[in-house]
Structure 1
C-alpha cells in the first residue's frame, strides 16, 4: 500500500504521512517511535466526518496503533483524557468501546502499559523520556535500580538503616538487599548504630554466602542513610568492612528495591503486628520468621525480575504474621 493511502475510520480520516511529531502544531498526534509497530508509518488526524467503516480491518489496526501510541507516549493519561482526545477529533467512541479497544491492544490496565514500556526499553527498542521513567518507577520502584545490575549473588549488596515509629515505639530497621536476586536481611533495633549493621553482616550475611560458595564483593550505601547523624556511624564500620575485603561504595542513589519493600511489605508486617498485639520482645523473632517466607520467593541463584511491577507475594496473598514465636 502506498504512502499516500487514506484509511477510513468512524468519524475521521487517517492519512499516512511521513514524519509527524507527537505534539504537532495542529494538535494531532503521530506514531513517534517506529519500533512500536512492525509497519513504520506515522499518522495525523484530519477532522472530516465520514460514514462508519468498522469492518475495515486495516482501518481498525490503524486505530489500535494510534491508541497504543497515545498510551505509550502519554502513560499518565487516563481513559477520560484519551476519550476526550478522540471525541474532540470526531472519533465517535464510548467509554466501553475505548476499554474494549484497550483490551484488544493488550493495554487494558496501566500496569500493562508499564510492562510494555519496560519491555521496549530492555530490548533497546526505545529511549524513555522523563515522563515515561516517572510512570514506570511509580508503579515499579525496582526499575530505579536498572543501572546497578549484578552478575552473581553477593556481587552487590545495598544497605540502609530505616527509621519508623510503630507499636507506640521508635525503631530502626537495618536492611541489606542483594541486588542480583533480591534476597533480604534485616535487624530490628532501637538504635541507629552502624555497628548493628556490621554485626548483621559479620554474624549472619557473610556466613550465609560462604556456606553457598559465594563471597560478598561490594556494599552500596543507600542515599537515604546519608544524613548528618549517620556520618559518624558510617566512620565506625567503613574500615571494618574494607578490612573484610568488601568494597564500601556510596553511589548517592535511592534504591527502588528498598522503597518497594517498605511500601509493599514492611507496612503490612507492622500492621499485622499491631493487630495481633505482638510484644516488643517478639518483634525480631516474628520479623525473622516473616523474612524466611519473603526470601522463599527470591530464588538465590536466579536474577530478580526488574520487569515485575508487583511482587510475586502480592499474587499469592499476603504473608500471615504468626503471633507466637519460638
Structure 2
C-alpha cells in the first residue's frame, strides 16, 4: 500500500502528533527514494522505520500511534483470597517452610509454587521465621490467646523465656534474671560486655555496658539501676537468678554475693552445664543483639562505651515502655504496663 494514498487531515492530540512525525519520515523516504537518508535526517533508526512502515501498511494511521500501556495487574497474578490464605497458614504454622506450605495448598486444591509463596510472604513482611513470630505477637497483642502445641514449640525455640515458663514469679522484683553478654570490640576501647537484668514477672529489662566482666560491673547495674527502680515503686527485690559465671559466684567475700546478702536478696543459680535455664535473660540477649547492637554497630562509629550506653538507654525505653510483648505474662502489654498494673492493684 502506497504511503501517499493514506495522507489525510489528522487530529492534533498528543498521540496523533507522534504518529504524524512517524508518518513524515515515511513520506520523506518516499520522496527521496532513500530510506537511509530519510532516517538520518529525522533521527530514526532503520529498524524502527521498517516496523512503523509495516504497522502503517497493516493498520493505517492508527498503527503509527503508541500502543496503550499494559495494565499493571498480571492476568496470572495470585488471587487475593489465596494470598490471604498463605498469610493465615504462615501464622498458623510459623515454623513451616515454603515447600510445606505449597504442599498444604495443593491438598486444598490450590496450586502455588514455593517460589511464589516466598515472594508473597516477603511482600507481606512474613518472609522469615522471625518476622512471622513478630507478626504473631502483634496480631495477638493486648488479648489472651490459646496457642496450639505447634505454636508453643515454635515460640519455645525462638524464645528461651517462654520455654522456661515454669520459672514463676507472682510480683515484680520477686525474681530477676541476670547475665553477662559479650557485645563486641570497639577500636581504642577493647572488649565491651553487657550486664543485663530482666524481671521474670513482666520482662522489664536493665542494661549496663562495661569493658570487663568483673563482679563490680555486675553489681553496678543492680545498685545504680535495678534496686533504685524498684525502690521508687515501693517494691522489694527478693531474688536474682544467675549462671555460675565468675562475676556472680565465688567465696563468701565475693563482691556480688556480698552485695546480694547485704540487701537481703536471695541468690539462685541455674543448673550446672545448662545455662539456658536462665531463659528470660537469654531471650533478652538475643533481642538486644538483633534489634540494637547489630544495627547500631553497622551505622554508628562508637569511640566510647558512654556513647553506646546513651543509645542503649534510649533503646531500653522503647523496649520497656513502647514495644508490646506477647508472652504469657504480658499478653501484648508493654513491660512497664504489666508492672504498673500490679502496683495499682496492690495500692
TM-score by length of 2: 0.50
The residue aligned with 2:337 is none
The residue aligned with 1:30 is none
Q: Choose the corresponding residue for 1:167, options 166, 170, 186.
A: 186
Instruction: Indicate conservation of the 8 Å contact 2:157/2:163, yes or no.
Output: no
Report runs of 4+ in structure 1 exceeding 6 Å deviation. 67-71, 106-109, 307-312
More helix by share: 2
The residue aligned with 2:174 is 155
Where 1:306 maps in the other structure, the secondary structure is: coil
Aligned CA-pair RMSD: 4.7
C-alpha offsets along residues 109-168 of structure 1, whole Å, 9 cap, x if unaligned? 65557866997xx96856625xx5453245545533533454433222211112243224
Q: Choose the corresponding residue for 2:240, options 208, 211, 219.
A: 219
Distance 1:68 1:293, change over 3 A: closer
**Structure 1: unaligned runs, 5 residues or longer:** 1-59, 313-326
Instruction: Indicate conservation of the 8 Å contact 1:175/1:186, yes or no.
Output: yes
The residue aligned with 1:268 is 295
Instruction: Compare 185-194 and 291-300 and name the one that shifted more.
Output: 291-300
C-alpha offsets along residues 53-75 of structure 1, whole Å, 9 cap, x if unaligned? xxxxxxx9xxx7xx978974x64
Where 1:187 maps in the other structure, the secondary structure is: strand
Where 2:180 maps in the other structure, the secondary structure is: strand
Q: Choose the corresponding residue for 1:306, options 302, 319, 327.
A: 327
Q: Choose the corresponding residue for 1:257, options 280, 284, 288.
A: 284
**Structure 2: unaligned runs, 5 residues or longer:** 1-80, 272-276, 335-347
Distance 1:246 1:206, change over 3 A: same
TM-score by length of 1: 0.53
More strand by share: 1
Q: Choose the corresponding residue for 1:91, options 100, 103, 109.
A: 109
1:208, distance to aligned residue in structure 2 (A): 2.8
Larger Rg: 2
The residue aligned with 1:204 is 225
Separation (CA, whole Å) in 1 of partners of 2:252 and 2:111: 60
Distance 1:211 1:245, change over 3 A: same
Distance 1:306 1:215, change over 3 A: same
Instruction: Indicate conservation of the 8 Å contact 2:230/2:237, yes or no.
Output: yes
1:212, distance to aligned residue in structure 2 (A): 2.6
